Amino acid sequence: MKVINTKFKGLKIIKLKRNNDPRGSLKETYRKKIINWNELVFDYCTTSKKNVLRGIHFQSKFQQAKYVTVLKGRIFDCVIDLRRKSRTFGKSFCIELSEKNCLSLYVPAGFAHAYLSCDNLNIIYYKLSNYYHPEFEDGIIWNDKNLKVKWPCKKPKISKKDKNLKTFLEFKKIYKGI
């Protein structure tokens, strides 16, 4: 495993090591010795079909750091820095995560998160620093022009809830940052 720092404080790309043989492959996804993020207390796994967009979500209280790994398929992963005092506040970071490129992403608390599924079947594994609290969940609309995210799909499949999320300007008026 190799940890790669980004220009966003605390946001890290993790290059995983995969071993292949005629039976299949083995991929180490987490090693405490290398990645000492003791705060990760909760795991879950999602599946998404092609062109499904989930997000851009955050929790206003009980914020979550996330460690995101793709077990099958490929996703366009996007995070927005919502940390009020950060020099990258309001900026986005996007990366392709896939079973083939063996990249994972560690997202510190204070970021909003979304992903677009690019293959027919995508299995995404998360480790999180806090439990899900739906009463504090909120989000920013995926196609907000102020965020300048270049999504690889112009008409993604989105939940009814995600179609009604706020703009980034509305987020700033309500929260001012998190």
Tell me the catalytic residues: 57, 126
Question: Which amino acid does the sequence have at 127?
Answer: K
The DSSP line for 119-165 is SSEEEEEEEESS---GGGEEEB-TT-GGG----S-SS-B--HHHHTP
Other beta carbons within 10 angstroms of residue 155's beta carbon come to 8
Question: Residues near 88 by Cβ (< 8 Å), separated by ≥ 6?
Answer: 7, 8, 9, 81
Other beta carbons within 10 angstroms of residue 32's beta carbon come to 9
Question: Which amino acid does the sequence have at 151?
Answer: W
